[in-house]
Amino acid sequence: MKKVVIGMSGGVDSSVAAILLKEAGYEVIGLFMRNWDSTINNDFLGNPNLNNNICPQEEDYNDALAVCNKIGIPLHRVDFVKEYWDYVFTYFLDELKNGRTPNPDIMCNKYIKFDYFIREAKKLGADYIATGHYARIKDGYLLRAIDDNKDQTYFLSQLTKEQLSNVLFPIGDMVKSDVRDIAQKYDLITAKKKDSTGICFIGERNFKKFLENYLPNKTGDVIDIETKKKVGEHNGLMYYTIGQRKGLDIGGYKDKMFVVGKNLDKNILYVSFGEDNHYLISNSCLVDNINFNCDLRPSECSVKFRYRQSDINAKLEYLQDGNIIVRYNSAKAVTPGQACVFYLGEKCLGGGIIKEVRLNDEKLWYLL
């Protein structure tokens, strides 16, 4: 009997994935990862929405344990707090300091869930590892999930071919409603539990209040990029992302206001007014930190610059330094620091990190 070690998060997806693996005849072992010290800057306690004032991480562990006991599999617990800090959270903070918009979930998958987790699973004698991600693997290729609305291949784009070997995604062929139906059938505590949001493993928090523990709050001018006039003050460049409209905290203006750029040296946030905002438009970008999970190197493919974004047709120009110039007709709010993920039909080929955003091969001066 083949042994599978599955990452149990305390959510409905990993719960059902474990059930499916057991029904398929595998020997299933659960492994819960503790990746954040919940006693640090804990702003959860006292939240009336939490059960008995237990922080979400401990509640997740209790739910994972309850599920494992219910379906009859063991659950181990492992501590990756230091590794998460070193490889994910430090990267997250450094990118914010540089005025970029990072995606910590992608790095968490690369360094924690599919690296340190795999090492721990091997100690338990795993033939395979499994997670509750919405994705598929077929003939050695990483494929989009059947449920387009839940597909998570975007977040798996930095995984290598080696990391994806001997990996199972049991719910990749399912839609979310069917996953919840199975959880209901087994009367699992996670059946109606809402999906997790917020920063990977840190959870939902007041983002500004949380970051103030790690990054100095430096206010600065908000400049109308059209008139070059000051229209307000920002609370710190790290709190804003390109294309952002809500939460700008700048009153007195009837027209819609968008974040269109940043100047890190002068601590300036650039905004623009109006519905049709051409400052957010680009037609190429430079992508570094390239990772491919297969041997395919197409000259044309589709790309995503954000999770759940519709595919954008693009041409890839491979540079000698290993970076790629991605050319497309037009896209809005392409943002330095975010991932650019490559697709060929249902195959996810990998991706990289957006370094520069360009219009007609000229770097947009108001973008970092």
Place of tokens 């007609």: 360
Q: How far is CA 13 from the centre of its chain?
A: 16
* DSSP letter for each residue of 95-160: HHHTT----HHHHHIIIIIIIIHHHHHHHTT-SEEE---S-EEETTEEE--S-TTT--GGGGTT--
CB 246 within 8 A of CB 350: no
What span, in angstroms and rounded, lies between the C-alpha atoms of 33 and 164?
19
CB 252 within 8 A of CB 269: no
Per-residue DSSP letter, 88: I
3-state secondary structure of 85: helix
Kindly name the residue from 55, 68, 200, 294 that is annotated as catalytic.
Answer: 200
Active-site residue flag, 200: yes
Helices (H) and strands (E) in the chain, counts: 9, 18
Kindly name the residue from 68, 108, 285, 348 that is annotated as catalytic.
Answer: 108
Q: What is the dihedral of CA 200, 201, 205, 209, to 10 degrees?
A: -90
**By C-alpha distance, which of 58, 168, 155 is closest to 118?**
168
Active-site residue flag, 348: no
Q: What angle, rounded to 10 degrees, do the helices at 56-71 and 12-23 form?
A: 20
- Which residues are the active-site residues? 108, 200
